[in-house]
Structure 1
Amino acid sequence: MERLINIDNGGTLTDIVVGSGTDFTFTKTLTTPVDLSQCLFDAMTKASTQLFDEPNLADLLHSTRHIRYSSTQGTNALVERKGPLIGLITDDQNLAATLRGAEEKLGLFDDLIGNRIAVVAADEAPEQLARDLVSEINRLTTAGAERLVVAATSLEREHLYKRTMLKNFPRHLLGSVPILFSREFASDTNRSRQIWSGILNSFLHPTVERFLYSAEHRLRAYKVKNPLLIYRNDGASSRVAKSVALKTYSSGPRGGLEGTRALAEAYGLKNVLMIDVGGTTTDVGSVEDSTISVDRRGSIQGVGISYEMSNVHSFGVGGSSIITVHDGVITVGPESVGAAPGPACFGFGGTQATITDVNLLLGVLDPETYLNGELALDAERSRAVITKTVAVPLGITLEEALIRMEATYSSQLAEAFAKLLKPGPETTIAAFGGGGPMSACAAARSVGVSHVLVPRLAAVFSAYGISFSDIAQSYEIDVTGFTPAEIETAKAAMLLDASRDMFQEGHDIDDCELEWTDLLEDGSEILSLKAIFRLPHPVLEGGSPAATTPAVVNGTRQVRSSASQVDTVSVYQLDEQQPGAAASGPAIVEGPFFTARVPLGWNLTVSNAGDLLLTDNIHS
C-alpha cells in the first residue's frame, strides 16, 4: 500500500491528511514556530496512531510514496513583516524610485529595504569597482542587511559583480550574508518584476530554509527513500532542491483552490468563492466554470513577480488575529498571536483578544470539544483579556464588547472577499479552515450571498486539496527574433533541462506529460515548457438526496445573540447525520475539528458526501 501524506502548516495549527485511494485519515496539531519540523512530526505521529491504533511513525513513513508539504509561514511573515532586512546593490540611480512606484509598493519597499541601498557607478575600472563593492557591502551589513540582492543593468555586469565579490570576500562571509543575483534568479522580460521577485524571495527564504534543513535531517533518521516534496503556489509539487521560497508563498491557499475546484465539479457549481480562514490570515480565491483564476505573472501585496500564481488574496483576518481598540475603534489584525502564545483561552500565556476568545464567550465554541476535545479552552482567561483590552477602554459591558467584536470581525471578513465576489444566485461561498465555518454565514449575508458550502474536511481542506497536485517543473525562454532552427535548438535545451530535473525528481521524462506553450508577452515571444508526472488523485462525491429528513439533535448550547439576549440553540454532530438530514438555524454544527454557526434564517442540509450545505432564506 502506498500512501500520500499532505501537510499544510499554518501559523496556529498544522493540518495533515494521509490518503490511500479513497481512504483518508486526517488530524491537526499545534504549530511549533520555534521548530516547524516538530509539528510536522507531531502531526504524522498522530496520524500513525489513527492508522495503526498506536504511534508508529516508522511504518507510516515506509508505507508512504510522497510527503507533500505546504506552509503559510511565508505568507504570514510578509503580512506581519517578520523577516530579514534586505540590502540592494545596483548601478541604476533611478532603481529605488522605480521599485517604490505606487503607494502599495512604496510601503513594501520601505519595510523590506528602506535606505539599505548601494548605488555603484556604471563605468568604473575593475580596481575601483572592487573597492566600491567592498565598501558598500560593509556599509549595508553594518546597517543591518542580512541578505543582499544585486540588480545591475545587464547580465554581464551582474556576472562582473559576482566575480568581484568572490575574489574580494571570503566565501564564509558571503555564505553568512547570502547574495541573490536578480537576473539569474528569474526569467522575465519585465525588469521591475524580476528584481521584486529577488527581493521577496530573499525575504521569504529563511523561513522556509530553517524548516527544510531540520525536516530533511529528521527524515533521514527513518531512512525515507522518497524525498520531501514542496507544494507550490502554481499547484504542483517538487523536491526541495528544485523549489524556490517565492513559489511557496500562498501555496496553502492554492491547495484550497484545487479542493474548491473539485467541489465545484462534484456539485455542479458555476461560481465558487473560496474563503480559507486560518489562524493568521484569510485567503480568498475564486473558481468559475471549474477554472481556477490564475495570473501568468503573479502579484504579492500589489507587487508583480515573475512566476505564475493563482489569484489568491491574503488578508490579516484570522482566528488568532488580535482584536483590540485603537483611538476608540475596534480593530482586527493584521498582527496575530499565532500558536505561541496563541489566543488567551489556550492558556499558554496569551494576553490579547482574538475571535476564538469571542466565540468561546458567546457560546459558539464548547470549551470541552475544541479540536475534538484535544485542547480544553479557558473561558476565564478570555473574559479577563477582553474586559481589559476592549470593554474597559470603550467603557462598555463585556457582553456589548463581544457583540461589537463579532460584528467588526464579520465585517472585515466580508471586506476581505467582497472585491472578488461575483454577485448573483449562482455564487456559492466555500468556507473552510479552522475559522471559516464559524463566520461564513454572517459574512455571506452581509454581501448578499445565500449559498455556503462547508466541506466535511473543512478543518484540513487545504491539506486535502494538495491531494490533487502532481510533480512538475516549468521552463521558459525569450525567443523573440529566433529563426526556426534557433527555436528548435532552444526547445532541445529546455527538454534536456526537463529530463535532468525530472530524473532528479525520480521520474523518467518518457513517463511525463509535456505541455509546450508559445505566447506573446510585452511584445516578446515566450516559449515555455511544463513537464508533469501525474500522481493519483481522489474523487469527490457530490449531490444530495432528493428527500430530506430531520437532522438528529445531539444537544443544545446557550449562544448570545445580542448584549441582552442568550438563545438556546440546537447542536448537531455532522458525522452522526445521514445524507439528506436537514434543520433550520439558529444552530451549531460540530464537524471534525471545526464548529459551524448557522444563524437564524439559514437552513442546513447534509450532502451525500457528508458536506454541509447552507442556504439563506432571506436572500435566496
Structure 2
Amino acid sequence: MTPETPRSTLICVDNGGTLTDAIAVRGGRFFRAKAITTAHDLSQCFIESIAALSREIFGETAIERLLQETGSIRYATTQGTNALVQGRDKGPRLGLLLPEGMAATALLSTPNEQALFAALVGERVGHIRDDADDLAVIEAVNALLRKGCNRMVLALDGRQYGARELAFRRVFLRCFPRHFLGAVPLLLAHQLTDDTSVGRRTWTALLNAFLHPTMEHFLYHAEGELRRHGATRPLMIFRNDGNASRVAKTVALKTYSCGPRAGVEGARAYARAYGVSRIVSFDVGGTTTDISMAGAEVIDEMAHGPVAGVQTSFALCNILSAGIGGSSVLGWSGNGFEVGPQSVGAVPGPACFGRGGKRLTMTDVYLLGGWFDPETYFAGRLPIDRALSAQALHEHVSGPAKLEQDAALLALDDAYHRAMADAIAAHTAPARDTLLMAIGGAGPMSACSVGQLLGVDRVIVPHAAAVFCAYGIGFSDVRYRYEAVVGEDVRATFEALMQRAGRDMYAEGFELGGCKLMRSLIVDGQADVAVDGEHWPDTIRPDTRLRLEIVRPLQSFPVAEILAVDPHPATTTRKRNCLLPDGRRLDLPLYAPQELQPGAQGDGPALLEDAYTTARVLPGWRFEITANRDMLLQRSAH
C-alpha cells in the first residue's frame, strides 16, 4: 500500500433506495463499496458503507483509521425525498400565515397541490394584517396553535414583502420568545428565496419547513456517528444544486433529489474530459431508470423545479425517472409483455434472491440467460438461485404466453429495453453522434441494447458506473450566490454582499482569500454582464441588479486526460455460456476490466465483469478500455 499523506483521502457516499454506494480515492486509486440501505435508520448504512470502504482499502474493518486519513466526506441522502414521498403523516404539523385577503386556494391550482396541502397544512391557515399589533399577532398565532400547529410559515405578498415579514417576526418573538418550552419555529418565506411568485415562494417555504426537523435530526445524528468513530472534519452535504455545505449551512429542501443530481455532475465532468458537447446518461437502478442530459458547461435544468409534484423557487435537474429497473416486475397479459412500473425492491427482491419474492424481474431474466453467474454475482456475497427464477418465469410469462424458456427470455429482454429506449427518446431525443452513458448497477447490461434501439453508435461505461452518483458528488464545491438592486452606489452594494459572503464562508470553515469571485450586472432582468471589481461602469440604471457568486473549490476526483493509447487485443481464458439475441447459446469471452490495461480492445459478443458491474457487449459492438479506464462501446460499421 502506497503511504498516504495525512487526510489525503476523499470519500463520497450516495444513499440510494436499495443500496448505499461509497467511493474513495487515495494515492490516485479508486476504491468502491456498497451496503444494503437500512430504511429504518439511514445512518446505519452510511457508517456501514464507510466500514466496507475500509475493508476494501486495508483488508479489514478500520473505520477510525480511514477517517483519520480522510480530508473530506461528502454525502447525498434520500432521507428528505423519502419523507415527502412516504412520511407525510409523520412530519411536523405546519401552520401557514397569509396576508389578509389572500385565500389558501390561490396556492391550489392542481389536484396534486390540493392533496399535498391537505397532508402538510390542512385547516391550519391564518391571516394577518400589515398593521397587526401585539394582540392581533397573539390571536393569529394562538388560533393556529389550537389547531395543532407546531411549526409555522409566514408568506406575504405585495410591495416590500420581505421587510413586512421581518416586522412581523419582531412582534412574534416579543410575544413568543424562543426560550419558552413551547416556542414554535417560524420560517419567513422570503428568507429562502426572493422569487416574485408568492405561490412558488410559499410552497418552497412549506416544503422546507416540513423537511427541516427530519433532516436536522438525521444529518446531525449522521455527523455524530462519524465523530463517534473518530472523525474531526465536518460532514459535507451534497445538495441538489450541485454544491456542498456543512450540515449547519444546509437548507433542508436542497437535499431533495440530490443523488440523481450527483450523477449529472459526474456526466458533466466526463463531457469535459472526453471533449463532447452532449452526454445523455441513463442510470439504471433497481426501481427506476433516471435519464438526464449534460454538457461540458451546461446541465439541463428546470428553473422552477418540482418537488413532490409542486413547482418551487429552486432550480432542479431535468431528470426523468422511468419505472424501469433491474427489480421491475415483468409479466404477461393478453395484450403482451409488461415491464414495471411496480418493483419488488430489495426486500423481498427478485425471485432469485430467495427472500420470499415470487415475481419475475430483469435480474432473473439475465440469470436465466447466463449473463449472471451465482458464484460471482455481487462479488459472491449475495447468493442467487436459477431454479427460483425459472419457476417465476414459468408462472408469470412462459406458461401463460405458451412460450419456450429461451423464447420468453428474449422477448422480455426486447420489451424491457424498448421501454427504456422509448423513455430516453421521449425525454432527450439523442442523435447518432450523442455519447450515451450507461451507469448504475444495471446500466452496463443495457448499454448496447439501448444504444442500438436509439440508433446511437457510442456508449461509455465509466469505471465507477456502479457507484456513479457517489462518484459525481466528488465534483462539488462550496458555492454561494447573492443578488441585490444596485441603487445609488454600486460599490456600497458590492461591499454589503461581500460582508454576507464572508460570514457564510467563515461559517463553512473557509476564508475569503481562497475563494473565487464572479461579479455581474443584470439589466432588464436578462442581460448578465461580467464586470471587473476594480472597474465598475460609470453609469448604472437604478433598477440594475448586482450578482455576486463566490466559490471555494474542494478536493475533487481525478479524471485522466483522455489521450490516445496504444491499442492491443484484450485477452482472457475465462468463458461464460450466454443466450444471444439470435437465440443461440454460446461460450463468450469473460474479461475482468480491472485486469485490462488502457488500449485493450475486443469484439462482441463478450462480457466484462467486476465485483459490482457486468457489462455485455452484443454482436456488432466493440469495446475499448480508455486512458481513464472506462469502457467505450462502439457499434461496428453498418
Whether the TM-score (by the shorter chain) exceeds 0.5 is yes
- In structure 2, the CA distance between the partners of 1:567 and 1:325, relative to structure 1 (3 Å rule), is same
Among 571, 576, 598, which residue is 2:590 paired with?
571
Among 459, 462, 480, which residue is 2:466 paired with?
459
State the Cα deviation string for residues 306-359 of structure 1 (Å, max 9, x = none): 234444333343333444678966555555444444434333444554332332
SS in 2 for 1:91: strand
Shift of 1:7: 1.1
SS in 2 for 1:407: helix
Q: Say yes or no: does 1:612 pair with 2:631.
A: yes
Among 587, 607, 620, which residue is 2:606 paired with?
587
Consecutive unaligned residues of structure 2, counting only runs of 5 or more, are 527-542
Shift of 1:40: 1.6
Q: Determine the structure 1 residue equivalent to 2:502.
A: 499
Q: Determine the structure 1 residue equivalent to 2:33.
A: 27
- Judge which range, 356-365 or 322-331, deviates more: 322-331
Matches within 5 A, 1:66-215: 66-75=72-81, 84=90, 87=94, 89-91=96-98, 96-101=104-109, 106-107=111-112, 109-111=114-116, 113=118, 116-123=122-129, 127=135, 130-131=138-139, 133-139=141-147, 149-153=153-157, 154-155=161-162, 156=164, 160=168, 167=175, 180-205=187-212, 208-215=215-222
Q: Determine the structure 1 residue equivalent to 2:327.
A: 320
Distance 1:18 1:165 in 2: 46
Aligned-partner residue type, residue 17 of structure 1: I
Distance 1:351 1:121 in 2: 54
- In structure 2, the CA distance between the partners of 1:100 and 1:608, relative to structure 1 (3 Å rule), is same
- Judge which range, 375-384 or 202-211, deviates more: 202-211
Q: Determine the structure 1 residue equivalent to 2:451.
A: 444
Q: Give the alignment's TM-score, normalised by structure 2.
A: 0.83
- Judge which range, 596-605 or 549-558, deviates more: 549-558
Among 531, 539, 562, which residue is 1:542 paired with?
562
Distance 1:210 1:457 in 2: 31
Aligned-partner residue type, residue 228 of structure 1: L
Distance 2:546 2:555 in 1: 29
- In structure 2, the CA distance between the partners of 1:158 and 1:533, relative to structure 1 (3 Å rule), is closer
Distance 1:526 1:218 in 2: 43
- In structure 2, the CA distance between the partners of 1:275 and 1:125, relative to structure 1 (3 Å rule), is same
Q: Determine the structure 1 residue equivalent to 2:579.
A: 559
Matches within 5 A, 1:278-317: 278-295=285-302, 297-300=304-307, 303-317=310-324
SS in 1 for 2:629: coil
SS in 2 for 1:116: coil
Q: Determine the structure 1 residue equivalent to 2:618.
A: 599
Q: Determine the structure 1 residue equivalent to 2:529.
A: none
Q: Say yes or no: does 1:7 pair with 2:13.
A: yes
| 8 Å CA contact 1:80, 1:335 repeated in 2 | no
Among 477, 483, 490, which residue is 2:487 paired with?
483
State the Cα deviation string for residues 460-505 of structure 1 (Å, max 9, x = none): 2222222222223x142341xx4232x4444333322221222222
SS in 1 for 2:428: coil
Shift of 1:611: 1.5
- Judge which range, 574-583 or 50-59, deviates more: 574-583
Distance 1:596 1:408 in 2: 19
Distance 1:327 1:136 in 2: 54
- In structure 2, the CA distance between the partners of 1:8 and 1:546, relative to structure 1 (3 Å rule), is same
Aligned-partner residue type, residue 107 of structure 1: N
Shift of 1:38: 1.4
Q: Determine the structure 2 residue equivalent to 1:262.
A: 269
| 8 Å CA contact 2:370, 2:576 repeated in 1 | no
Distance 1:78 1:67 in 2: 26
Aligned-partner residue type, residue 321 of structure 2: S
- Judge which range, 160-169 or 204-213, deviates more: 160-169
Distance 2:210 2:236 in 1: 21
SS in 2 for 1:484: coil
Shift of 1:173: 5.2
Q: Determine the structure 1 residue equivalent to 2:378.
A: 371
Aligned-partner residue type, residue 5 of structure 1: I
| 8 Å CA contact 2:433, 2:456 repeated in 1 | no
- Judge which range, 254-263 or 333-342, deviates more: 333-342
Aligned-partner residue type, residue 110 of structure 1: A
Distance 2:357 2:174 in 1: 47
| 8 Å CA contact 1:72, 1:252 repeated in 2 | yes
- Judge which range, 305-314 or 231-240, deviates more: 305-314
- Judge which range, 212-221 or 81-90, deviates more: 81-90
- In structure 2, the CA distance between the partners of 1:410 and 1:77, relative to structure 1 (3 Å rule), is farther
Larger RCO (alpha carbons 8 Å, 6+ apart): 1
Among 51, 57, 61, which residue is 2:63 paired with?
57
Shift of 1:230: 0.5
SS in 2 for 1:4: strand
- Judge which range, 587-596 or 332-341, deviates more: 332-341
Among 207, 219, 232, which residue is 1:225 paired with?
232
Aligned-partner residue type, residue 512 of structure 2: I
| 8 Å CA contact 1:274, 1:429 repeated in 2 | yes
Q: Report the identity percentage.
A: 36
SS in 2 for 1:275: strand
Q: Determine the structure 2 residue equivalent to 1:246.
A: 253
SS in 2 for 1:456: coil
SS in 2 for 1:608: coil
SS in 2 for 1:317: coil
Distance 1:594 1:65 in 2: 28
Shift of 1:16: 1.4
SS in 2 for 1:255: helix
Distance 1:467 1:244 in 2: 20
- In structure 2, the CA distance between the partners of 1:180 and 1:407, relative to structure 1 (3 Å rule), is farther
Q: Give the alignment's TM-score, normalised by structure 1.
A: 0.85
Distance 1:454 1:133 in 2: 56
Distance 1:267 1:161 in 2: 52
Shift of 1:242: 0.4
- Judge which range, 577-586 or 32-41, deviates more: 577-586
SS in 2 for 1:430: strand
Aligned-partner residue type, residue 254 of structure 1: R
Distance 2:330 2:580 in 1: 19
| 8 Å CA contact 1:456, 1:612 repeated in 2 | yes
Distance 2:461 2:80 in 1: 26
RMSD of aligned Cα (Å): 3.6
- In structure 2, the CA distance between the partners of 1:550 and 1:513, relative to structure 1 (3 Å rule), is closer
| 8 Å CA contact 1:100, 1:109 repeated in 2 | yes
- Judge which range, 147-156 or 596-605, deviates more: 147-156
